[in-house]
Structure 1
Amino acid sequence: MLNQAEIMSEFLEPSSTKSKAKPARFPSIDEFSWIWVGLILLFACSAIIAPGTVSRGSILAMLPFAGILAIVATGQTLVIQQRGLDMSAIGMVSLAGIVMARTGFAFDSIVLAVVISVCVGGIIGIVNGALVSRVAITPLVATLAVNALLIGFARSLTGNVPVDVPTVMQTISHAQFLGLPVNVWFALAFVASAWLITRKTVVGRRFIAVGVNPRAAQAAGVNVLKYKIGAYFASAVCFSAAGMLLAGFIGSASQTSGNDYLLPAIAAVVVGGTPFTGGRGSVIASAVAALFMAQLGQLVLALGAGAAVQLLVQACAILLATTVRHLPELLRKLRKERR
């Protein structure tokens, strides 16, 4: 176990004060790199088993949904890095699309609609964070309760009838830039922003330190409460953005829009290698895993499998990823034993 001084020196000190660089070694595959190997193997298998799934048309049809899933997975990764879990993704994705649609028509401004939707999502995220970190309710229980309230509110806004989305938002969600769907570029922006903040800033080092050991971080003078609530705030903003893009792409918003973006997002985080023990994590690996999950679903559909088989395949992918994550440690132990 690391003591407080070791933890704080690792995550709270500027990079310039750390020890000198270690001798160069050959690059190794860590727990966050296996997903790249899995993604390459998946596309190779897809090209052999179902070539139609790797055609340009199929990939372009899959990428918008993969981008939306990557945004949700990014938010979920940040929460899991703080030893939490946000089960309100279903309600948040659904409600964001509905609020955007309603306010977009009411104010005749898509910009104002987006701002209002993000603000609503941010407030809900703060409520989630306060319930978990301030009231000390288990994350699973707190976010499930909030999710139920969000779905109820979404139903009251729509009357259980899907609402149309402003044409401007539909145009944005279906647009392409440099040959890629705009949803993918939005996903890249969210992932890059989260990566830069958590890996290249003092705030990010403290964020990781809080996830690794909240008590040690508190003893070092870090405001633990602020970072825990901030993680849920960031996840809610990601869910809101995903909900608006999804509603624009589909052309309508309803209380069931987010049903397919809870378990697949958590699966993407797990497959990407982020542990539930907090601290360590990779939003890039989670985003790549989102692409993996989207392509895997497309492959299963192309083979004519039903919904039950899709869930079984997802479960197998999670189990395989969890097992593969421990391979580097196992290989290191075997090498030491041979020496």
Structure 2
Amino acid sequence: MDEFSWIWVGLVLLFGISAVVAPGTMTRGSILAMLPFAGILAIVATGQTLVIQQRGLDMSAIGMVSLAGVIMARSGLAFNSILLAVVFTVFVGGIVGIINGALISRVAITPLVATMAVNALLIGCVRSLTGSVPVDVPTVMQTISHAQLLGLPANVWFAFVFVASAWVITRKTTVGRRFVAVGVNPRAAEAAGIHVLKYRIGAYLASAVCFSAAGMLLAGFIGSASGTSGNDYLLPAIAAVVVGGTPFTGGKGSVIASAMAALFMAQLGQLVMALGAGEAVQLLVQAGAILLATTTRYSPTLLRTLKSTRR
């Protein structure tokens, strides 16, 4: 069993525990209520996975998710076309991603500092656009976000498209193999003639597009966009990547495992809420999930190290 397979075991155990401890979370209604948010989290986690595969971290998820919802809502009413609004929002998100990538790859600012600074600017833009008052989302987007296809929420199908696309590109194409090579060893990749800068900036561009899509779907599902919309999509997304098995050392990663871990985190949050725990306990549970996943992943290496030391 590899490092990306444990999440399937964890999912089965979590749903089994939920069925015993809080049966109400396993009803069809509860699961259908949880899945749209799991789908949105899976899209954010997909973008975060791609960045972490390049040894980075995108802390601008909060601001980008919030800003995307506001831009989509405002431009949808201005253009009187949800399609133009979506295209414009993704374009703005792409620009933000390029700025993040350029600050990190060209200016050599550490990912944590660069993306946190950009996140602060994005939140400032949201407050300026909204005046700290929620913005109503066009009815068309609400209808799309609340739609169902083959018994599953539309957000789940959107998540499937993003995850499947990222998996195919990173695993089945030459671009994907070069992307992984850059994440494993940038210097060796550059020596091999790979344009390292393009792939590093591309990772942040892809993550921003994912965050933008998630922000639009979230705003459509809630019915409004605000400066606090993205608050719940930073730590859970990073937790999903870690729980899914993607290491921060770069290169290896699995967007499918991250998506399954997003489902794990969504169900875990629902279970904790069903047991009457507050927000502080939910954060502790998320931190505990990260710690447990990290410990599980590195325990075989630790055991081998201890055995070799004893010899």
Are 1:196 and 2:168 counterparts?
yes
Task: Assess, with a 3 A threshold, how the Cα gap between structure 1 residues 196 and 328 changes in structure 2: closer, same or farther.
Answer: farther
1:296, distance to aligned residue in structure 2 (A): 0.2
Which position in structure 2 is the counterpart of 1:73?
Answer: 45
| Aligned match of 1:41 | 13
Q: CA deviation at 1:52?
A: 0.6
The structure 2 residue matched to 1:57, chosen from 23, 29, 34, is 29
5+ residue gaps in structure 2? none
CA distance in 2, matches of 1:131, 1:290: 28
Candidates 57, 64, 73, aligned match of 1:92: 64
CA contact under 8 A between 1:30 and 1:328: conserved in structure 2?
A: no
Instruction: Indicate the residue corresponding to 1:268 in structure 2.
Output: 240
Cα deviation, 1:243-286, whole Å, max 9, x if unaligned, reads 00000000000111000001110011011111101001100010
Corresponding residue for 2:200?
228
SS of residue paired to 1:113 = helix
RMSD after superposition:
1.5
2:117 equivalent to 1:145? yes
The 2-side partners of 1:83 and 1:282 are apart by 14
Amino acid at match of 2:3: E
CA distance, structure 1, for counterparts of residue 165 and residue 98 of structure 2: 20
Higher CA-based Rg: 1
Aligned ranges for residues 224-303 of structure 1 at < 5 Å? 224-303=196-275
How far the C-alpha of 1:324 sits from its partner, in A, is 1.1
**Is 1:102 the counterpart of 2:69 in the alignment?**
no
2:142 equivalent among 152, 155, 170: 170
Q: Alpha-carbon deviation of 1:336?
A: 10
Secondary structure of residue in 1 paired with 2:58:
coil
1:160 aligns with 2:140: no
Report what 1:325 is aligned to.
297
* One-letter code aligned to 1:210: V
Cα distance in 2 between the residues matched to 1:151 and 1:89: 10
Alpha-carbon separation, structure 1, partners of 2:305 and 2:279: 40
Query: Equivalent residue of 1:326, what SS?
Result: helix
Deviation per CA, 1:75-107, whole angstroms, max 9, x where unpaired? 000000000000000000000000000000001
**Alpha-carbon distance in 2 for matches of 1:332, 1:291:** 32
1:185 partnered with 2:157: yes
Structure 1 runs of 4+ off > 3 angstroms? 327-337
Report if aligned partners of 1:110, 1:169 keep a CA contact under 8 Å in 2.
yes
Q: Confirm whether residue 117 of structure 1 aligns to residue 89 of structure 2.
A: yes
- Identity over the aligned pairs, expressed in percent? 84
* 1:128 to 2:100 alignment: yes
| CA deviation profile, 1:50-91 (whole Å, cap 9, x unmatched) | 001011000000000000000000000000000000000000
Which amino acid counterpart does residue 15 of structure 2 have in structure 1?
A: F
Q: Which amino acid aligns with 2:210?
A: C
Query: What are the ranges of 5 or more consecutive residues in structure 1 without an aligned counterpart?
Result: 1-28
CA distance in 2 between counterparts of 1:327 and 1:88 reads: 32
Which has the higher mean CA deviation after the structures are superposed, 136-145 or 323-332? 323-332
* Contact kept in structure 2, 1:198 and 1:208, CA below 8 Å: yes
Q: Please state how far the C-alpha of 1:323 moved relative to its aligned partner.
A: 1.1
Paired AA for residue 225 in structure 1: L
- AA paired with 1:273? G
Closer/same/farther in 2, CA of residues 335 and 135 from structure 1, 3 Å limit? closer
TM (norm. structure 2) is 0.97
CA contact (8 A) 1:31 1:326 kept: no
Q: Is the 8 A contact 1:32 1:285 kept in 2?
A: yes
Aligned residues: 309
Match of 2:181 among 209, 216, 219: 209
In the TM superposition, what is the alpha-carbon distance from 1:37 to its structure 2 partner? 0.3
